[in-house]
Amino acid sequence: MTQLVSILDNDFYKFTMQYAVSKLFPKALAKYQFINRGEHQFPEGFDNKLKEAISDMAQLKLTQGEKKYFKDTCPYIDPIYFDFLQGYRYDPAEVNIQQVGHNLTVEVQGYWYRTILWEVPIMSLICETYYEMTGAQRVANDEVCVIAESKMDKYDKLNITIADFGTRRRHSYQVHDLVIKTLKQHPTKTFIGTSNVHLAMKYDTTPIGTHAHEWFMFHAAKYGYKMANLLSLEHWSEVYRGDLGIALSDTYTTEVFFKQFDKKLTKLFDGVRHDSGDPIEFAQLTIDHYKSQGIDPRSKSIIFSDGLDYDKVETIVRFCEGKIGHSFGIGTDFTNDVGLERMNIVVKMVEAQPEGGPWTDVIKLSDEPNKHTGNKDEINLAKSVLNIND
């Protein structure tokens, strides 16, 4: 039966955001929704299997060893957070799962500081349960390792650094575990860490991540679209004081982001993350922005993380070489390259209720219009307010 083995089997940025939310917005509420982008057909009884797996998550708790590891690894997080996390338990009552025919509905609602941890494990459980119930046969374990090793041999020649970002849409925990073991044993310095905190601890590598789109989406609900990027980054810097300094740029399009990424923030943050749209266009926009602020782009970095494979990475490297720092977060091409169709699913925040305010629709305006998420009327409003035409 599909189940998680650790409360840390989650992406690092979920914990870093949870800490920030608990400090700044402890009374905020949030709603999340599963979006089946790939229109996958879920087999009969899938909802019951998923409910069982979600129910089992209530038993997960931070061990003393995990607490020590996390605390030692992240000295920039106050000790009180690790005490809080040790007492945290997933509450399955926050998750509503329904199935009608082959269509699956999953919704999460509750205090934001609590519900923020659900997204990644729900997605990974949906993927693993789907492959189990459909009976699709993946390649053998040895082949999983060979595929990962052969990719690293090619990446080595590009003289770059790479992290695993593949928890959410992995084939299974077992495949993910095999991939990280292989990458860690690879005899070069190309692999620098993983977004998965549990596997980072297991294989003595670095947990990697900062914040996600929901951080900016909530700020839009509380402060409005024109102030969302600016206040999101101001608040992040208040909490982390210069640590975790990679800024996500595309919640309301990169063009809008750079207009609000003022000189103070441009200097303070180590770089930006690319997660949608054309990576070469993004790289040029980023280089131009740093130059306009009197900053040498080579002193900053772009973390590329949008649907990467070798060919895409090679193209990006050839463009960025000598112009700007660059590193790569590779997801499903590592953790779900097993001879089967990769799932195209997301779980996104859809509403937020800041303290003292009403429930408000939240949206994401990707650099790719077909990846916009949220209420269409709200999307149109945001585009109007931000003067976005696409």
- Reading the block at residue 184, the tokens are 């860690």
Q: How many CA atoms lie within 13 A of 332 on its CB side?
A: 18
Q: Does 322 reside within a domain? A: yes
Q: Write down the pLDDT at residue 118.
A: 98
Same domain? For 95 and 162 the reply is no
Q: Do residues 26 and 44 share a domain? A: yes
Q: What angle do CA 274, 278, 281 make, to 5 degrees?
A: 90
Residue 389 is predicted with a pLDDT of 83
Is residue 154 located within the same domain as residue 177?
yes
Structure confidence at residue 148 (pLDDT): 98
Query: Is 114 contained in some domain?
Result: yes
Query: 263, exposed or middle or buried, with CB in 10 Å at 0-12, 13-18, 19+?
Result: exposed
Q: Do the bridges between strand 301-304 and strand 325-330 make them parallel or antiparallel, or are there none, so unpaired?
A: parallel
Asked if 290 and 346 sit in the same domain, the reply is: no
The DSSP secondary structure of 94-141, one letter per residue, reads GEEEEEETTEEEEEEEEEHHHHTTTHHHHHHHHHHHHHHHHT-----H
- Specify the number of domains making up the chain: 2
Is 385 inside a domain boundary? Answer: no
Q: Give pLDDT, residue 1.
A: 55
Claim to verify: residue 133 and residue 183 sit in the same structural domain: no
Q: What is the pLDDT of residue 383?
A: 94
Higher per-residue confidence, 11 vs 370: 11
Find the CATH number of the domain harbouring 124. 3.20.140.10
Q: Do 170 and 249 have their domain in common?
A: yes
What distance in Å separates the CA atoms of residue 201 and residue 22, rounded to the nearest whole number?
Answer: 24
Q: In this structure, is residue 199 part of a structural domain?
A: yes
- pLDDT tier at 52, thresholds 50, 70, 90: very high
Mean of all residue pLDDT scores within the chain: 96
Q: What angle separates helix 310-320 from helix 279-292, to the nearest 10 degrees?
A: 30
Distances (CA, A) of 375 to 255, 378, 382: 22, 5, 11
Domain span holding position 81? 12-137+342-372
Whether residue 57 is found in the same domain as residue 74? yes
Dihedral sign for Cα 293, 299, 300, 302, please. Answer: positive
Please state the rounded mean pLDDT for residues 176-189: 97
Tens digits of residue pLDDT in 100-156:
999 999 999 999 999 999 999 999 999 999 999 999 899 999 999 999 999 999 999
pLDDT value of position 165: 98
Residues 193 and 110 reside in one and the same domain: no
- Of 312, 335, 358, the last residue of a domain is 335
Give 368's pLDDT tier (boundaries 50, 70, 90). Answer: confident
| Residue 343 pLDDT greater than 80, yes or no | yes
Backbone dihedral region for residue 306 (phi beyond 0: left; psi -120 to 50: alpha; all else: beta): beta
pLDDT, mean of residues 340-351: 96
Q: 18 with 125, same domain?
A: yes
pLDDT band at 369 (very low <50, low <70, confident <90, very high): confident
Task: Kindly tell me if the per-residue pLDDT of 178 is higher than 80.
Answer: yes
What percent of the chain shows pLDDT beyond 90? Answer: 96
pTM over 0.95: yes
Q: What distances in angstroms separate CA 288 from CA 180, 276, 283, 386, one per listed residue? A: 36, 18, 9, 21
Specify whether the CB–CB gap between 257 and 227 falls below 8 A. no
**Is 217 inside any structural domain?**
yes
282-310 confidence digits (pLDDT tens)? 999 999 999 999 999 999 999 999 999 99
| For residue 330, pLDDT beyond 60 | yes
Both structure tokens of 35? 């979006």
Average confidence (pLDDT) over 220-235: 97
In the predicted model, what is the mean pLDDT of residues 177-198? Answer: 98
Per-residue pLDDT, 265 = 97
Q: Output the CA–CA distances (angstroms, integers) from residue 193 to 108, 124, 165, 180, 262, in the order listed.
A: 29, 19, 9, 9, 30
